[in-house]
A and B are shown apart, each in its own frame.
Chain A
Amino acid sequence: MSTDPLLDLENVDAGYGETQVLRDLSLSVGEGEVVSLVGRNGAGKTTTLRSIVGILTPTSGTVTYRGTDVTNLDATETVQHGLALVPEERQIFPELTVKENLELADYGGSPDVDSLSVGEALEMFENLKQRAPNPGSSLSGGEQQMLAIARALVGGADLILLDEPTEGLAPYIVRDVMDIVEDLNDRGITVLLVEQNVHVCLELADRNYLLNQGEIVYEGTSADLEEDKEILDRYLGVTT
């Protein structure tokens, strides 16, 4: 973990209309880390990711990325800085081919010269290479997740925000996705992971934040969290 955090949220409030979802939320992610955000349904995890990439603008507080204030940037602009959200629904373009989905990410994305080319991304994901000429709508859930991650890479992301990457996937595919996340990390990409599945978090993440009712109630390494039965019980309904 480097001394200067790559991403830093300070006292962020955010919500939809009158409903405040995030309350005074602060967290940081160091370069090269895998950090997880766990919590129950409705705790504000997705809202946190949306506030970071600028789909939602925080009502107060600041979001800093590589020392730049990105609080008020919209989703299009944060991508240029190297942030990429892989949304929960994956949002693959159903009528574009796999290759076109990747090309589109290439047209957008950060001006980063190191970013993966479309060809390299297809080499990296064997499944996608085979499906390259097929429309997005023909992909399985796991393949869609791979494509969504591949799009982020082609777009030149240095920090990927993964929203529930394993949701709705069969256990053996969950394994594949976990391997991909580890692989990403080996390539030096920082990951902020939102998960309901505590096992996934504990295994992948260096550190974990526990979110409850829009507030951070716990922060700790996976080893610490695993040992903290009381926290697991209280906030995740996991009693042992």
Chain B
Amino acid sequence: MLGTIFQQLLDGITVGIVYVLLAAGLSVIFGVMNVINFAHGELAVLGAYFAVAITIQTGIGGNAFVVALVIAPLLVGVLGVALERYTVQPLYGRNPLYHILLTFGLVLVINDLIYLVWGTGSFRLPRPGVLTGTVGAFGFGVSAYNLFMIVSGGLMALAVWALLEYTRYGLIIRAGSQDRQMVRNLGIEIDRYYSLVFGVGAGLAAFAGIILAGNQQAHPDLGMSIIIPAFVIVVLGGLGSFKGAVVGGLLVGILQESILRPWVPWLEGMVIFVLMIGILLIRPHGLFGTEHAEEGGTERLLAGRTGSLLERETRFKLGLVMIGVLALVPIVAGLLGNLFWVTFGSRVLIWALFALSLDFVMGYTGLVSLGHALFLGLGAYAVVLGLIHVTSSVFVALALAIALSAAIAWIVGFLSIRVAGVYFAMITLAFAELYYNLLYRLEITGGSEGLGLLGQDYYYGLAGIGASLDDIAFFVGPVVLTGHSLFYYVVLGALVASYFVTRRMLQSPFGSVLKSIRENEERATFLGYRTVVYKRRAFVVSGAFAGLAGGLFALNNAFVSPSAAEWLKSGEVIVMVILGGMGTLYGPIIGAGAFFGLEQLLTHYTGRWRLVLGTIFVLFVIFLPRGLVSVPTLLAPYLPGGPGPTSATEQLPEDSSTEGGD
């Protein structure tokens, strides 16, 4: 018994030490540069794969382990320095949320590169002979490798701590995380140290990845699965606090591996998110975090701009033409006898609706929800469960989906809108992950299998009046519209209706307050608006439309699984909003079209389309943050008769530390 508990505790510390190394880098990078690095997990896994290359692919095996442990982190460190210099640096001075977007793009790129080079298989890193057996410790037999992880990881953490505490670099970095401008005033080029910090953080992550891969296995999606707990730890411990990373890492490791997994496995994967939400609500700066001089987040997000190139009326007509063209898709596809474009179109339109919903809250109130897939998943499960258990009317089921998503959005909004910026992003992510993990655990949701609608009878109508789409057929010339084609029109109708409803809302008093909050929240407060209430309402509206999108998402697939709520989906929808241009409502629709159009185009040539997409996204975040809709305004000066020159990145302060007046 005691032996088991000891073994479990050791397992917890083993995993905990990996988290400590990951979180320490993340935390210090945030403290000094205000950068939330989503690609940190990928860098860790990249380290593991470099080690795979050095040990397995050279044929040397376990004897090269130690060599790999030295060289791979160095390589990843160098890569980190390059990433900081060429992608992160151009964004200093913008809202820190752009770093989240950028590094999410990097996740897509690095992840796909790993697939490209090493394939989909997983590798167990060969260990050197001395680390394969067990050793006696405190009277118990313990895996030598686990001990090695704890000792080497602990030494590494200690080294980082000593570096921060006792060296000149460490002192400068600690000072930089408190007050960057004053460090500059003392004559130190703090900016020169950013690359170093990023590089060391990346190397540390790689080290963690390697020792983990010797224990578990290296597989391409390992990064995605370790980054979220690492974030939880950083937020829990306090963004920017090394001590917080150590305490948080061990706490989460022990909690997960030593307590939850062996004793209450049902709660595994959920408790840490509850813990994180709870701590953020009680202590917004985490256990050991403090408020710092430069919090960031005051710089505005960059909304898409079309300028006044087109008259309002012309734009409206253009919109109607677009709807007309979209309405023709099933007919043309029918004529060509290729229904692929119908199902593809439905998918694009559903995502367009999802992106529209996110834009309503992100583009108009500046609340960046990193967990919007929560509402997609809620809507999807609500429709499927509704059709199985409650009703056979699709409309009633969709109404349920909307109502449920709106209600949950109100609760999430109530708890999280009081925390600002980066913390809001993190707390929404935590809620989404909590839900995602819950879906696996619950019986009613079918666990990891998900739920299908196959064999369910449902109809489009109300109170028993209506029909299944397969039972209806419209004849347009030689084309028969039924099933999927009709569903396409349902989706198109929902998107167009949602667009007009949200647009109308923005013209109402409610919408005009939202715009004023985007302009200057403090000022709106002193006009007498309780801005938190308005933001929460916007969040509820957004959640409701995302729920509708989720319902349609499930209907389109006739199936739902937990992946509907995975964080990758939250990330992808943000990509679409930015690609198109946020704060415009139609920009994200264009963005969704561009996203899937690109995917379609690229999959013809390569299976690794995310690599290209991620690269394009990174370029967008750096060079075209106002999205595709801003392209006409950018090109206008070069066209004959266009208006004067404007820039997509105008009004950007040049330096993050631009300070107030005299």
Question: B172 touches which one: A46, A76, A107, A110 (CB < 8 A)?
Answer: A107
CB of B449 within 8 Å of the partner chain: no
| Chain A residue at smallest Cβ distance from B186 | A108
The segment out of A88-96, A119-127, A231-239 that lies at the interface is A88-96
Chain B nearest CB, measured from A52 CB (Å):
12
Q: Is the interface of A mostly helix, strand, loop or mixed?
A: mixed
Number of interface residues of A (CB under 8 A): 34
CB of B189 within 8 Å of the partner chain: yes
| Chain B residue at smallest Cβ distance from A43 | B662
Question: A104 touches which one: B186, B189, B290, B660 (CB < 8 A)?
Answer: B186
Question: B188 touches which one: A44, A95, A108, A110 (CB < 8 A)?
Answer: A108
Number of interface residues of B (CB under 8 A): 22
Docked-complex contact B184 and A76, CB < 8 angstroms: yes
Docked-complex contact B185 and A79, CB < 8 angstroms: yes
| Chain A residue at smallest Cβ distance from B659 | A55
Specify which chain B residues have a CB less than 8 angstroms from the CB of A109 in the assembled complex.
186-187
Docked-complex contact B187 and A19, CB < 8 angstroms: no
Chain B nearest CB, measured from A79 CB (Å):
3
Docked-complex contact B185 and A85, CB < 8 angstroms: yes
A91-B179, A93-B175, A95-B174 as given contacts; A79 in contact with B186, CB under 8 Å: yes
State A94–B172 Cα separation when bound (angstroms). 14
Specify which chain A residues have a CB less than 8 angstroms from the CB of B168 in the assembled complex.
103, 107
A16-B660, A45-B662 as given contacts; A75 in contact with B185, CB under 8 Å: yes
Docked-complex contact A21 and B662, CB < 8 angstroms: yes
| Chain B residue at smallest Cβ distance from A81 | B187
Q: Is the interface of B mostly helix, strand, loop or mixed?
A: loop
Docked-complex contact B171 and A103, CB < 8 angstroms: yes
Residue interface bits A194-208, CB-to-B below 8 A is 1, else 0: 000000000000000
Question: A151 touches which one: B186, B290, B660 (CB < 8 A)?
Answer: B186
CB of A155 within 8 Å of the partner chain: yes
Docked-complex contact A76 and B174, CB < 8 angstroms: no
Docked-complex contact A110 and B187, CB < 8 angstroms: yes
CB of B144 within 8 Å of the partner chain: no
| Chain A residue at smallest Cβ distance from B182 | A91
Specify which chain B residues have a CB less than 8 angstroms from the CB of A80 in the assembled complex.
187
Specify which chain A residues have a CB less than 8 angstroms from the CB of B183 in the assembled complex.
104, 108
Chain B stretch 143-198: residues in CB contact (< 8 A) with chain A = 168, 171-172, 174-175, 178-179, 181-189
Chain A stretch 56-80: residues in CB contact (< 8 A) with chain B = 74-76, 79-80
State A43–B365 Cα separation when bound (angstroms). 36
Docked-complex contact A96 and B175, CB < 8 angstroms: yes
Residue interface bits B293-328, CB-to-A below 8 A is 1, else 0: 100000000000000000000000000000000000
Which of A19, A47, A107, A155 has the most chain B CB atoms inside 10 A of its CB?
A: A107
Q: Which residue numbers of B lie inside 8 Å of A, CB to CB?
A: 168, 171-172, 174-175, 178-179, 181-189, 290, 293, 659-662
15 sampled A-B residue pairs with Cβ under 8 A: A55-B659, A74-B184, A85-B185, A91-B185, A93-B175, A93-B178, A95-B178, A100-B175, A103-B171, A104-B175, A104-B188, A105-B187, A107-B168, A107-B171, A155-B186
7 A-B pairs besides A47-B661, A107-B168 with CB distance below 8 A are A21-B662, A42-B662, A53-B185, A79-B187, A80-B187, A94-B290, A155-B186
Closest 4 CB pairs of A and B: A79-B187, A108-B187, A108-B186, A108-B188
